[in-house]
Structure 1
Amino acid sequence: MQRITNCVLTNGEQALLLQKPSRGWWVAPGGKMEFGETIKESAEREFREETGLHVEGAKLRAVFTIVVLENDQPVNEWMMFTFHATSYKGTMFAQSPEGKLEWKNIKDVSGLPMAEGDKYMFDHILNDKDGVLHGTFYYTKDFQLVSSRLTLE
């Protein structure tokens, strides 16, 4: 099972997002954990590698299991740990090695192209809802959402 970490950085009414070239979807910058890292270390490292910025005071806000199905059978599964930060240092890359970086108005994020499950994560974080959101999302191989379960802790 792959472990993925990411971080949503907000600054006032703006959120820094990354548009991935493969699907054109907007995501929170992040990526795969390396051996021996904590989830927080991974989220901070991945964010820095993709944006050039060092987030400070990141807090865990969502934990998801993503299951990809083929003929109703699981063929891939990963865990995603999402952090939120409001403070950072450094200079943002003019161009990320992973796609297009852009500050987006928080009220516009829900209308951007993205994975259906990410909409729940962004809603939870960007609307400043309390607690840690937990969920499982089931997708087809072409990332159409089949079903989901969500709980708030």
Structure 2
Amino acid sequence: EAATREFFEETNVTANNAHLKGAYTMVIKEGDKVVDEWMLYTFVTTDITGEPFAETREGTLAWHPIEALETLPMAEGDRTNLLFAVSHKGMQYGTFEYTTDFELLSEKIQKSEQS
């Protein structure tokens, strides 16, 4: 419910029947020191209703073909988790470590290919 509500608040689109595809620990490091850490959850649906906002405080919303995930500007960990979400069954779990400039330092991934 929380993911569906948040998605609607940010986009004006309702994600019907969304299901969890990934759970990730995001770690920001300065040298060997952890300066920030949070959890990121990825949900997927193929059933949406509503018209998205044209513009949000984060920028312009747009639909992109799945193939564009390879080249769209984003953090590399986001690319890893989104590519899994749209092309595999099951769930993915992992930890991504970044510098304070969001340069990927390391990623540790576990996958469950079960549906």
Does the pair score TM above 0.5?
Answer: yes
Given that 2:42 and 2:85 are in contact with CA atoms closer than 8 Å, whether structure 1 keeps it comes out as: no
User: How large is the RMSD of aligned CA atoms in angstroms?
Assistant: 1.0
CA distance in 1, matches of 2:68, 2:105: 25
Tell me the CA shift for residue 96 of structure 1: 2.1
For residue 107 of structure 1, what is the amino acid of its counterpart?
E
CA distance in 2, matches of 1:114, 1:58: 23
Moved >3 Å (runs of 4+): none
CA offsets per residue over residues 75-104 of structure 1, 9 Å max, x none? 110001110011111221122232110010
Which residue number corresponds to residue 8 of structure 1?
A: none
Q: In structure 2, list runs of 5 or more residues that go unmatched.
A: none
CA distance in 2, matches of 1:73, 1:97: 31
Which residue number corresponds to residue 90 of structure 1?
A: 50
Tell me the CA shift for residue 109 of structure 1: 1.7
For residue 104 of structure 2, what is the amino acid of its counterpart?
L
Tell me the CA shift for residue 42 of structure 1: 2.1
CA distance in 2, matches of 1:114, 1:46: 20
For residue 80 of structure 2, what is the amino acid of its counterpart?
Y
Number of aligned residues: 112
Tell me the CA shift for residue 123 of structure 1: 1.1
Q: Of residues 74, 79, 83 in structure 1, which corresponds to 2:34?
A: 74
CA distance in 2, matches of 1:42, 1:118: 20
CA offsets per residue over residues 97-148 of structure 1, 9 Å max, x none? 3211001011112111100101111110122x01110000011111111111
Which residue number corresponds to residue 77 of structure 2?
A: 117
CA distance in 2, matches of 1:122, 1:81: 11
CA distance in 1, matches of 2:54, 2:62: 10
TM-score by length of 2: 0.92
Q: In structure 1, list runs of 5 or more residues that go unmatched.
A: 1-40
TM-score by length of 1: 0.70
- The alignment-based identity, stated in percent, is 41
Q: Of residues 77, 91, 105 in structure 2, which corresponds to 1:146?
A: 105
